[in-house]
Amino acid sequence: MTPWLRRQRALADYTLASLARRKGKNIALVAVYAIVVFVLASAMFFAASLRFETSAVLRDAPEVTVQKITMGRQDLIEGSVAEEIGKIRGVTSAKPRLWGYYYDRIVGANYTVMVPDDPEMIPEPGSVIVGEGIPRARGFKWSGAPLFLSRYEGDLKRFDVARAFESDSALMTSDLMLMNEADFRDFFEIPAGLYTDVVATVRNPNEVATIVEKGSNALPQMRFVTRSDIERTYQKLFDWREGLLAALAAAGILAFVIFAAEKASGLSAEEMREIGILKAVGWDTRDVIAMKLWEGGLVSLGAFLLGTVTAFAHVFFFGAPLFAPILKGWAVIYPDFALAPHVDGLELLTLALLTIVPYIAATLVPIWRVASGDPDAVMR
């Protein structure tokens, strides 16, 4: 072992023993520190895993969505547009879609109503397939209970529930209701030949920009939304929410920094005497600074580990009950979903910089002031 390593080991050994001698005070410090780390880490882990979840969900989404814009508002689109889009070279398929929202006045929730593309998912006339959130919101006591929907005062329409989705796809299907095309047009009074929008899939993602350009030249009144636009918007939204929470946490960090600085400069008489004795037996200023840095390092490490691990459990095992309303948004039927654990080096590094750097910065000057005093002055 080199002399340098031996010196560090001795310092660490001494520091650990000295930390253990003042257990109560140090545990309090670590606890406060860990809470700061915990708050920040929870916000970051949660936002990151939402970002991850969205991009996983969008991976199967169609590359391009075409909407008709009339007077600046989205309007119903003619089915013939799909054929025209389909003719552009590079587009594998273009299909019109029928979907919309239905406001359920009984429970005050919005459902997404859709005509499925997959023939296996098309329900029989008069029946619907629903996401797990709808029976939950309606408080259905037994399976097979019929669903009554009311579009306006005095109107009532009965649907049978063919089946409900499993909750493993809850983020996407919780408020979803599938109908067949005839029922849909009848329910929403949509004339034949008109659709909500048109989706197109593209074989080579690098060609999306060119296809959008060609499409908007041929159909100037349409709006083209690409999958990467949607993904970018979600990313920005979650980034922004995470940033907002982190900025709020800054107040907490500042308070903690003041607490740490105060604690490092106002040493107890006993600690003062300890440093005085160390200097009297031959430690020089540099050794005392190194010892104090070890102390700060060990406290930081402990608090960082404690804070990160509890934040991990809070977010991924318990679903982040403290922050979820801010970060994921809210709705009457909110899906019950478990977040996929997703933590990367970038987050941990950011977290370390945001918490450890302020702590070290706050304690360095007080440490030096104590360490550079004369032994007798320190002890007195």
CB of 229 to another protein, least distance (A): 9
Number of residues this chain uses to bind another protein (CB under 8 A):
37
C-beta closer to another protein: residue 16 or 353: 353
Q: How far apart are CA 340 and CA 317, in angstroms?
A: 10
Q: Is 239 in the site for another protein (CB under 8 A)?
A: yes
Closest CB to another protein among 76 and 293?
A: 293
Stretch that binds another protein, among 102-110, 244-252, 308-316, 319-327 (CB under 8 A): 244-252
Contact flags string 32-61 toward another protein, x per CB under 8 A: --------x---x-----------------
Interface residue with another protein, options 87, 163, 203, 236 (CB under 8 A): 236
Amino acid making up residue 45? F
Alpha helix segments (H runs only) across the chain: 3-21, 23-58, 80-87, 133-138, 170-173, 181-188, 208-218, 227-265, 269-280, 285-312, 324-328, 345-371, 375-379
194 binds another protein (CB under 8 A): no
The reply to whether 204 sits near another protein by the rule CB under 8 A is no
Q: Which residues contact 196 (CB under 8 A, 6 or more apart)?
A: 76, 77, 96, 97, 98, 99, 100
* 180, 125 contact by CB (below 8 A): yes
**Tokens matching residue 161:** 């529930």
364 binds another protein (CB under 8 A): yes
In the region spanning residues 273 to 332, those forming contacts with another protein, defined by CB under 8 A, are 285-286, 289, 293
Q: Cα–Cα distance between 235 and 47 in angstroms, integer?
A: 9
- When binding is defined by CB under 8 A, the residue of 24, 251, 345, 377 that contacts another protein is 345
Choose among 83, 165, 86: nearest CA to 128.
Answer: 165
Span near another protein by CB under 8 A; candidates 105-113, 170-178, 192-200, 347-355: 347-355
Query: CB–CB of 37/311 below 8 Å?
Result: yes
Distance in Å, CB of 372 to another protein, minimum = 4
Beta bridge partners of residue 97, listed in sequence order: 197
352 near another protein (CB under 8 A): yes
Tokens describing residue 152: 């306006």
Q: Which residues are near another protein by CB under 8 A? A: 40, 44, 228, 231-232, 235-236, 239-240, 242-244, 246-247, 250, 285-286, 289, 293, 344-346, 349-350, 352-354, 357-358, 360-361, 364-365, 367-368, 371-372
